[in-house]
Amino acid sequence: MTQLLTRAKAGQGENDEEQEALPSLDKPGWYSQGNAVHLYELLKKMTGKPEPKVVYFGDSMHSDIFPARHYSNWETVLILEELSGDREGKPEESEPLEKKGKYEGPKAKALNTLSKKWGSFFIDSVSGLENTEDSLVYTWSCKRISTYSTIVIPSIEAIAELPLDYKFTRFSSNNSKTAGYYPNPPLVLSSDGMLTTK
């Protein structure tokens, strides 16, 4: 029933060529068009464990995070660039000059979590009925993030220098909706008590 989509790459350079579909993965290497079932079987063989733990990193809720969590039950780390611009003038900007690279150019303009056309990525305002105030609610995207992601980071660089045994606070039904954002939740979610779920 599962169609094998795994294709081997000849190398890891610019001139890589896709080859015919493989029946299984038999060794570590460079693969594309992958199949999670075959990757998991390779990991079992490599680790000698019947149920190796997998943490999947991705920047797409649709093609990375949702399938990895929903179909494979893997831990997932969503890389969400919108978090990097949320707190302008904070840690990255206040870094001492001696810690910055010699040839480091000016930082790119920070992404914004509030679109003039679409509104906030995280919260939305719902008009109240007659004589009632508008209320803030989590957006569909925000709810999917906390449902299918273990944690959310702005970039790989944000966690690269952490110790290997660093304990992240995860999203869970026991924690607030902002618990899994590292290093900080988006500013618009800081007033967590005011939001309702619809």
User: Which pLDDT value is given to residue 194?
Assistant: 53
Whether 154 and 78 share a structural domain: yes
User: Which pLDDT value is given to residue 38?
Assistant: 86
pLDDT beyond 50 at 155:
yes
Whether 28 and 75 share a structural domain: no
User: Which pLDDT value is given to residue 127?
Assistant: 76
Whether 74 and 171 share a structural domain: yes
Does any domain span residue 6? no
pTM over 0.85: no
Q: Are 80 and 154 in contact (CB under 8 A)?
A: yes
CA distance 179 to 185: 7
User: Which pLDDT value is given to residue 15?
Assistant: 61
Whether 70 and 155 share a structural domain: yes
Does any domain span residue 105? no
pLDDT tens digits, one per residue of 90-128: 444 445 545 445 445 554 444 445 566 677 788 887 776
Does any domain span residue 4? no
Whether 47 and 144 share a structural domain: no
User: Could you tell me which residue, 190 or 44, shows the higher pLDDT?
Assistant: 44
User: Which pLDDT value is given to residue 180?
Assistant: 94
| Of the residues 35, 53, 71, the one at which a domain ends | 53
User: 81-108: string of b/e by CB count within 10 Å (b at 16+)?
Assistant: ebbbbbbeeeeeeeeeeeeeeeeeeeee
Tell me the residue range of the domain where 144 lies.
55-84+114-127+135-190
Whether 153 and 168 share a structural domain: yes
Whether 141 and 174 share a structural domain: yes
Whether 142 and 171 share a structural domain: yes
**What is the total count of domains within the chain?**
2
Whether 33 and 78 share a structural domain: no
pLDDT over 90, % of the chain: 35
Whether 36 and 121 share a structural domain: no
pLDDT beyond 70 at 45:
yes
C-alpha distances (whole Å) from 177 to each of 14, 56, 96, 146, 148 are: 42, 21, 33, 6, 12
Whether 142 and 169 share a structural domain: yes
